[in-house]
Homo-oligomer: A and B are copies of this chain.
Amino acid sequence: MSETIVAKCLSKGVKLTDQRKIIAKVMSESSDHPDVDELYNRVSKIDPKISIATVYRTVKLFEESGILTKHEFKGGKARYEELNEGHHDHLIDVKSGEIIEFVDEEIENLQKKVADKYGYTLVDHKLELYGVKKKSQK
C-alpha cells in the first residue's frame, strides 16, 4: 500500500513531508475517486492543520510523479485516484454518481489502431461511459 507511494517518492526525489505522507495514506486507503475538497476533509481528520493549498500542491505533484491520476468527469470538480499498474476506464451511473471501473483489452487495441490510422502514436486516452441502470436483467 503506502510502501508503493513512499518508494515512488524516493525514486523521484520527492521530499517526504508529514503532510505528503498523510495525503498519500488517505489516497491509498480510498477506493472511491475523491475531489480535492473531499480529500481535504479526510486529511483534516488526521491533521487539522494541513491547508487546502497543500492538498492542491500535493495532488498536482503526485500526478506529475505518476502517483495519482486526475479525472475530470462531466461538469464536476477534478477527482483523483491512485495510479496502479493496471489501467482501467470508468462507467459512471448518471443517476447515483456511482463509478464502476472496467478494463476492455479489445477497446484499448482498437484505440491504438485508430491513432495509427491517422499516423499517430497513442500517448494517452480517456474513455468514460455514462449509463443508467437497467430495470430487469434477462
Residues of A within 8 A of B (CB): 72, 74-75, 91, 93-94, 100, 102, 104, 106-107, 110-111, 114-115, 117-134, 137
Contact = CB atoms under 8 A, between A and B. Distances in A.
B121 A134 contact: yes
For this chain, the copies found in one complex come to 2
Contact of A134 (B75, B120, B128, B137): B120
Top 4 A-B pairs ranked by shortest CB distance?
A: A120-B131, A124-B130, A126-B128, A115-B131
Contacts of A124: 94, 129-130
Contact of A129 (B102, B122, B137): B122
Contact of A118 (B94, B100, B115, B118): B100
Nearest to A124: B130
A102 to B, nearest CB: 6
A130 B125 CA distance: 5
